[in-house]
Amino acid sequence: MTAAYAVVIPTLVRDTLADCLAALAAATGPTPREIVLVDDRPVPDPGPLEHPLSVLGDLRDRTTVLHGGGRGPAAARNTGLRAVASPWVAFLDDDVQVGPHWCEQLTQDLAAASPDTAGVQGVIAVPLPGLRRPTDWERETVARARARWGTVDMAYRTDALKQVRGFDERFLRGHREDIDLALRLLDAGWGIRQGRRTTRHPVRPEGRWASLAAQRGHADDALMLRLHGAGWWSKAVAPRGRVRAHLAVTAAGAAACVLACAGRRTAAAVAASVWAAGTAEFAWARIAPGPRTRDEVTTLLVTSALIPPAAGWHWLSGLWRYRGAPVWRDVAP
């Protein structure tokens, strides 16, 4: 028996949405019973949605558009979850393109799921340039897209999601909310496994300061620490990150400035040397694997000096903001 499923896509109605929906409409196999687009722009404008919706063809009649209110992807997915009645819900990001046989492969993944399996993750392919080494942003895209339990393409049992009260809406960015959900499902006795369906995740263009803006995710790491303890990194098989090193480098830089103002030149020089060495090591770790073009190297040198204080600020502010954060089921409506 073919498992019935819905598809939920939170979106900011980017240019990638039309390609996402076109790939879904073209995929062979049993089609979704429901498609829910959650427009998460703070002020929705129906105009830009006309073209993306038109590529759905026959699937247009079973597609619903809801407004998320600009509260982030976790809240947007919960909005879509509350609207579906199918036993399974597949979450897709709006910048992916499912494979040509995705619908067929998805139903096979769901049919093979044991009764205690809450979720089945898709296989994500990130196309990279073949004639040069990937940039820092391209490598970051690969890491995020292929992360364990990522909702780039993840199917969950609807009942399992409702049991744990869905996504924690305190995660305002697309960062860690999927790991938090998975850990809560595992704690509730469910399992999550890898499926066989494939989805393509192109690298979207970003400005040269994208890595600096991404440091806001350290506040989400602080929330994860409060909710799941220090061991959440190993449970999720997630990279620990460099926040401790960033704090140390930032402290050295701050100490150098204070000592210089106090007239303690020797001590200031030592602190400045520690700051310079830490910054240089971080910059080279990012530059060495990449194409080493002039623009890339310049960007990484500048951001490698700015990232440590930004990361430290977001980490410490997150620890303060979430110092007494209860588990999600205690604060969900």
∠ CA 116-117-118, rounded to 5°: 110
**What does the pLDDT look like over 56-69, one tens digit per residue?**
999 999 999 999 99
The predicted structure's pLDDT at residue 206: 86
Using a 10 angstrom Cβ sphere, with 0-12 exposed, 13-18 middle and 19 or more buried, the burial of residue 47 is exposed
Which residues make beta-bridge pairs with 117?
191
> What confidence category does residue 293 fall into, taking pLDDT thresholds of 50, 70 and 90?
very high
Query: What digits encode the pLDDT tens for the residues 250-263?
Result: 999 999 999 999 99
Q: What is the mean pLDDT of residues 213-228?
A: 95
Residue 309 has pLDDT above 70, yes or no: yes
Q: Are 322 and 222 in contact (CB under 8 A)?
A: yes
Query: Could you give phi then psi for residue 214, rounded to 5 degrees?
Result: -65, -15
CA distances to 11, 13, 39, 255, 312 from 43, in Å: 13, 12, 9, 45, 32
With beta carbons less than 8 A apart as the criterion, state whether 310 and 209 touch.
no
d(CA 77, CA 97): 18
Cβ–Cβ < 8 Å for 282, 245: yes
Q: Which two tokens stand for residue 43?
A: 């002020």
For the chain, percent of residues with pLDDT exceeding 90: 86
Confidence band of 333 (pLDDT split at 50, 70, 90):
very low
